[in-house]
């Protein structure tokens, strides 16, 4: 059974963002603004990459889709920080419709596609628990008999933390979600033409059986000024983490508050 995750890293897609732009050039200018890129890298290096690099089950592929136009300094930085993580594959892609580009990347990674695949998507500023891949395989094994006649099934870890990172450290709030992308995966039969990117994650339970596990907490979802979801979903109960939660984030997510403080200590770069 294959496990494949996909992450969009400042990819200038046609659509796929709530912020709209009239041209690809305008979108690239927005995406590649130095302050924005630095903010994305800091979250990626503090949350996403550590959680992917330290998975308890290392038998998976993690695709990072970028634009072919990603400026060289950012492209080189991305390659440098992921070089030691064998699961990572960086895929430069020309501007395409968002879902089409992500679907093509997954299908290419599947190759002959001769076995079942577990597929998940993860934003470049979120994290998953270190048992995420292992837990997905457990879900698949435990439900093998139940799902024999189901074309698709979704597995959802619906408990985690909203977090905000800064030079002062980590603020967090425990949450129970409803089909957020960062705790979710889908299982596909061999040769199926669709992928996890062909479905809106908030409405998976409208289209297929879904199995939910409320424990353990399995994701960290970051909130900051560049969230594409805007401020409407900003949590209201964020508080500085205590020693117990600090240890839990390091143990269960490989997220180190001292590393967060160091990454966010310098001021953001500004264009010009």
- Residue 269's pLDDT band (boundaries 50, 70, 90)? low
Q: Each residue of 1-12: pLDDT tens digit?
A: 999 999 999 999
Structural domain harbouring 24 = 2-264
Closest CA to 226 of 19, 63, 13: 19
Q: What integer pLDDT is reported at residue 166 of this predicted model?
A: 96
Does residue 189 fall inside a structural domain?
yes
Decide if 269 is inside a domain: no
The CATH number of residue 218's host domain is 3.90.550
Contact 155, 144 (CB under 8 A): no
272 falls within a domain: no
- How many Å apart are CA 137 and CA 135, to the nearest integer? 5
155-159, 224-228, 257-261: least confident range: 224-228
Convert the pLDDT of each residue in 202-250 to its tens digit. Answer: 888 888 999 999 989 999 999 987 665 544 456 778 999 999 999 999 9
- Summarize pLDDT for 90-146 with one digit per residue, the tens: 999 999 988 899 999 999 999 999 999 999 999 999 999 999 999 999 999 999 999
Task: Inform me whether the pLDDT recorded for 42 exceeds 80.
Answer: yes
Question: Does a structural domain hold residue 270?
Answer: no
Mean pLDDT of the chain: 92
Residue with tokens 């837990």: 135
* In a domain? residue 58: yes
Q: Is residue 205 part of a domain?
A: yes
Q: Which residues are within 8 A (CB) of 69 and not within 5 positions of it... i.e. 6 or more apart? A: 12, 28, 32
Report the number of distinct structural domains present in the chain.
1
**Residue 40's closest CA among 2, 81, 5?**
81
Please report whether residue 14 resides in a domain: yes
């Amino acid at each position: 059974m294959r496990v494949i995750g996909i992450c969009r890293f400042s990819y200038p897609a046609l659509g796929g963002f709530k912020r709209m732009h009239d041209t690809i050039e305008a979108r690239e200018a927005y995406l590649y603004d130095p302050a924005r890129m630095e903010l994305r890298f800091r979250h990626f290096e503090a949350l996403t990459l550590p959680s992917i690099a330290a998975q308890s089950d290392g038998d998976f592929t993690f695709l990072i889709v970028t634009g072919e136009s990603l400026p060289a300094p950012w492209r080189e930085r991305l390659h440098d920080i992921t070089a030691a993580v064998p699961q990572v594959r960086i895929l430069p892609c020309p501007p395409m419709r968002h879902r089409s580009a992500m679907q093509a990347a997954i299908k290419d990674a599947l190759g002959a596609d001769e076995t079942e695949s577990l597929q998940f998507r993860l934003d470049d500023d979120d994290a998953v628990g270190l048992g995420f891949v292992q837990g997905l395989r457990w879900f698949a094994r435990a439900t093998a008999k139940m799902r024999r006649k189901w074309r698709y099934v979704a597995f959802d870890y619906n408990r985690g933390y909203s977090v905000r990172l800064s030079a002062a450290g980590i603020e967090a709030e425990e949450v129970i979600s409803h089909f957020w992308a960062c705790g979710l995966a889908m299982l596909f039969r061999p040769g199926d033409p669709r992928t996890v990117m062909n479905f809106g994650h908030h409405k998976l339970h409208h289209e297929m059986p879904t199995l939910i596990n409320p424990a353990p907490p399995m994701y960290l979802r970051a909130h900051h000024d560049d969230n594409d979801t805007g401020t409407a979903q900003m949590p209201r109960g964020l508080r500085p983490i205590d020693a117990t939660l600090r240890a839990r984030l390091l143990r269960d997510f490989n997220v180190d508050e001292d590393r967060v403080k160091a990454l966010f200590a310098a001021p953001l770069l500004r264009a010009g």
